[in-house]
Chain A
Amino acid sequence: MDDIGEIREIWRGEVGRALKSGRVVALLVLFMLFTGLALAGIGAVNYMVSKQEEQTLSNSQIDKAQLAKADEATRKRFVGLVFSNDEELTDALSAMPLLLLVVFKLATVFLPLFVALMGFDQISGEIGPRSIRFLVLRVKRSSIVMGKFVSQATLLAGLMAISTVVMVLVAKLLNSDFGWGSAFVALGKLLVAGLVSVIAYEALTTLCSALTRQSGVSLLLNVGLMFVIWFVSLISTFYRIPGADVEFGSLESLKSESYAAYLKYASVWTYNQDLLHPSATRFLSATMVHLGYGLVFLGLAHLVLRRRDI
């Protein structure tokens, strides 16, 4: 059996076992509850704002076209605030209902945590009780790392597919002007962006799980590193790269120049929003960065497991 065959067998076994165990169902329910709560909360706010606008419109002499224009501008500003100031991106995202965008953004913020909760013990849970000893004589350690990673990725892809379909369906139901064609396009974009965005975090979870024999420690380490990734990205947004051209009066012009701005390249989180960018170059670059981080984390996981006593 070659390496691919070993990985395939581990994947088959692990996915089959996970689907029969309660954890995947529990996490799916948890994720759906979270999505449902976000949909309900943001949907309610959205509904109230729309009603208020309609009422204001019916009671006043304001020009409807002018109001729609102002509304569109406000919406773009909000999308820019949630995602990015990139005009091209905000224009592209404007085709999707605000509710869907905000809920998706919230979901992607919390997805790394779900990834950690789902897979923190994928390897440490085998090293601690030493059940990994039954495996290492039969398959290469690299196949264990890859097999476990692919299993987790498959389960998460399933979970994300279900929740994204629900998100889009709810958005479709609440927004009559959101047609089926647009809904399908949005579903495809969000699903691809979501799946790519978690690759690096899945690999990080695999790495943390290979580092220690105690599952609790691997979870703490995983969450800690996720915060480091977020903080590094956040700190970099407070500054602008020295010598970079900025538009006068823009948000960027208010930031002070610092080499700390380069930290954005050290965090995979920075590239998250480009996964929804209409530019193929930006999307592919962001995808490559996510894949690159994922490969680095997986490579480290392999190195760790290959050299450690089990």
Chain B
Amino acid sequence: MTAAIELKGLSKHFGAKRAVNDVTLEVKEGDCYGLIGPNGAGKTTTFSMMCGYLFPTAGTVRVLGHDPAEPGVLKGKVGVLPQDAILPPTWPVGALLTYYGRLSNLSEPEKEARTALDRVALPETWAVPAGSLSHGMAKRVSMAQALMGAPPVVFLDEPTAGLDPKIAAAVRQIIRELKGKSTVVVSSHNLQELEELCDATAILDKGVLVTAGTVSDITGQTAEFRVQIAKGSPPLEEIRLLTGIKTAQLEAKGQVLVVHFDSSKAAPEEAITATVGLLAQRGVLILAVSRGKRLEERVLQLT
């Protein structure tokens, strides 16, 4: 699979402040890719350079093989939901989306605009001035303009921030539907959401790339699992002797068994089944089994 987006040694400095420093990463075509990090980590700055809004101080960005700063190269190929861009307030929503559709050179801009508004469940806002929309509605209209024309790359900066749970779930569903059809880059503070949606992620902290890879690699899903113990003492020595198991230890006052394994010697399902079987044989009662760490735990550990 080829890379839809490539960042090489990307840096952005605002005066003395290094907002992004020497970031190198790759987003594969068709992937849903998460940008993660605390406030001030450089997510939005990285995101803005990928969209061509900000010019890098050093390094290169390639989106579908083009430098996004080159005039007109991404026309119709990229849809963006910018985090803090305000829709022009005097435009009625329908006219605005149709206008954007025309500028994107869509063959049927009005039809596309109506379809996109339907998709974000806001057809009733067609004649409403954009300035009269609530925060959540404006975000969904911004999402609609990003989806118009089914662009091969979609950038979504904080797509569910400030939305009520029902609408946020609807937006997540839209992102799920994009998977496989478009390359999607999502920046969010909602790690559970990213863990659920993304194939791969990059974790940034203080402008530096801490780690990047598939979600399962980052959370250790192919190298670690946890067993929540309800009753009994797990036989740690015996577990360590099982095929592929590297370490086994107890955490949380003996309530959680953490097992690391070598996925080249044992597939996750084999390592888990063998361990759980042994625990059952030894009369240990189990409440739950989970693969890897939660993304949130991993991010907290790394940043």
Q: Given the known A-B contacts A17-B90, A141-B71, are A136 and B104 also in contact in the complex, defined by CB atoms under 8 Å?
A: no
Q: Which of A21, A134, A306 contacts B145 (CB 8 A)?
A: A134
Q: Are B85 and A133 neighbours in the complex by a CB distance under 8 Å? A: yes
In chain B, what residue has the closest Cβ to A140?
A: B71
Say if the beta carbon of A244 comes within 8 Å of chain B. no
Alpha-carbon distance between A37 and B99 when the two chains are bound, in angstroms: 40
10 additional A-B pairs beyond A9-B102, A133-B80, A309-B48, beta carbons within 8 Å, are A1-B103, A10-B103, A13-B102, A17-B91, A126-B88, A131-B88, A134-B85, A136-B52, A137-B79, A307-B55
Q: Which of B54, B55, B72, B86 contacts A139 (CB 8 A)?
A: B72
- Mark out the residues of chain B between 41 and 83 whose CB falls within 8 Å of any chain A CB in the assembled complex: 48, 51-55, 71-72, 74-76, 78-80, 82
| Chain B interface residues (CB < 8 Å from chain A) | 48, 51-55, 71-72, 74-76, 78-80, 82, 84-88, 90-91, 95, 99-100, 102-105, 142, 145
Complex interface: chain A residues within 8 A of B80 (CB): 133-134, 137
Complex interface: chain A residues within 8 A of B142 (CB): 134
Q: Which of A1, A20, A133, A140 contacts B82 (CB 8 A)?
A: A133
When each residue 123-139 of chain A gets 1 if its CB lies under 8 Å from chain B and 0 otherwise, what string results?
Answer: 00010011101111111
Q: Are B52 and A137 neighbours in the complex by a CB distance under 8 Å? A: yes
Complex interface: chain A residues within 8 A of B91 (CB): 17
| Chain A interface residues (CB < 8 Å from chain B) | 1, 6, 9-10, 13, 16-17, 20-21, 126, 129-131, 133-142, 306-307, 309-310
Q: Which of A129, A131, A135, A307 contacts B103 (CB 8 A)?
A: A135
Name the distance in Å between B166's Cβ and chain A's nearest Cβ.
Answer: 26
Q: Given the known A-B contacts A140-B72, A141-B71, are A130 and B78 also in contact in the complex, defined by CB atoms under 8 Å?
A: no
Alpha-carbon distance between A307 and B54 when the two chains are bound, in angstroms: 9
Q: For chains A and B in complex, what number of residue pairs have CB atoms within 8 angstroms?
A: 71
Alpha-carbon distance between A141 and B52 when the two chains are bound, in angstroms: 11
Q: Given the known A-B contacts A21-B90, A133-B80, are A138 and B104 also in contact in the complex, defined by CB atoms under 8 Å?
A: yes
Name the distance in Å between A1's Cβ and chain B's nearest Cβ.
Answer: 5
Q: Which of A16, A129, A309 contacts B85 (CB 8 A)?
A: A129
Q: Are A131 and B52 neighbours in the complex by a CB distance under 8 Å? A: no
Name the distance in Å between B271's Cβ and chain A's nearest Cβ.
Answer: 46
**Chain A binding site: helix, strand, loop or mixed by DSSP?**
helix
Complex interface: chain B residues within 8 A of A129 (CB): 85-86
**Chain B binding site: helix, strand, loop or mixed by DSSP?**
loop
Alpha-carbon distance between A20 and B48 when the two chains are bound, in angstroms: 33
Which 10 pairs, one residue from A and one from B, show the smallest C-beta to C-beta distance?
Answer: A129-B86, A138-B103, A140-B71, A130-B85, A133-B85, A13-B99, A133-B82, A1-B105, A309-B54, A140-B72
Complex interface: chain B residues within 8 A of A306 (CB): 71
Q: Are A142 and B71 neighbours in the complex by a CB distance under 8 Å? A: yes
Name the distance in Å between B135's Cβ and chain A's nearest Cβ.
Answer: 14
Alpha-carbon distance between A142 and B70 when the two chains are bound, in angstroms: 12
24 pairs of residues in contact across A and B, judged by CB atoms under 8 Å: A1-B103, A9-B103, A13-B102, A13-B103, A16-B95, A17-B90, A17-B91, A129-B85, A129-B86, A130-B85, A133-B82, A133-B85, A134-B80, A134-B87, A134-B100, A134-B145, A135-B103, A137-B52, A137-B75, A137-B79, A138-B104, A139-B75, A309-B48, A309-B55
Q: Are B103 and A139 neighbours in the complex by a CB distance under 8 Å? A: yes
In chain A, what residue has the closest Cβ to B149?
A: A138
Alpha-carbon distance between A21 and B104 when the two chains are bound, in angstroms: 24
Q: Are A131 and B100 neighbours in the complex by a CB distance under 8 Å? A: no
Complex interface: chain B residues within 8 A of A130 (CB): 82, 84-86
Alpha-carbon distance between A16 and B92 when the two chains are bound, in angstroms: 12
Alpha-carbon distance between A84 and B76 when the two chains are bound, in angstroms: 55
Alpha-carbon distance between A137 and B78 when the two chains are bound, in angstroms: 7
Name the distance in Å between B193's Cβ and chain A's nearest Cβ.
Answer: 23
Which of B55, B87, B103 has most A Cβ within 10 Å? B103
Name the distance in Å between A134's Cβ and chain B's nearest Cβ.
Answer: 6
Name the distance in Å between A279's Cβ and chain B's nearest Cβ.
Answer: 42
Q: Are B85 and A131 neighbours in the complex by a CB distance under 8 Å? A: yes
Alpha-carbon distance between A248 and B200 when the two chains are bound, in angstroms: 86
Name the distance in Å between A124's Cβ and chain B's nearest Cβ.
Answer: 13
Complex interface: chain B residues within 8 A of A137 (CB): 51-52, 74-75, 78-80
In chain B, what residue has the closest Cβ to A131?
A: B88
Complex interface: chain B residues within 8 A of A134 (CB): 80, 82, 85, 87, 100, 142, 145
In chain A, what residue has the closest Cβ to B49?
A: A309
Complex interface: chain B residues within 8 A of A20 (CB): 90
Complex interface: chain A residues within 8 A of B78 (CB): 137
Q: Are A309 and B53 neighbours in the complex by a CB distance under 8 Å? A: yes
Name the distance in Å between A146's Cβ and chain B's nearest Cβ.
Answer: 12
Name the distance in Å between A230's Cβ and chain B's nearest Cβ.
Answer: 33
Complex interface: chain A residues within 8 A of B105 (CB): 1
Q: Which of A16, A126, A139, A310 contacts B53 (CB 8 A)?
A: A310
Complex interface: chain B residues within 8 A of A139 (CB): 72, 75, 103
Which of A21, A135, A136, A138 has most B Cβ within 10 Å? A138
Name the distance in Å between A144's Cβ and chain B's nearest Cβ.
Answer: 10
In chain B, what residue has the closest Cβ to A141?
A: B71
Complex interface: chain B residues within 8 A of A6 (CB): 103
Alpha-carbon distance between A20 and B87 when the two chains are bound, in angstroms: 17
In chain A, what residue has the closest Cβ to B92?
A: A20
Name the distance in Å between A73's Cβ and chain B's nearest Cβ.
Answer: 55
Alpha-carbon distance between A190 and B84 when the two chains are bound, in angstroms: 46
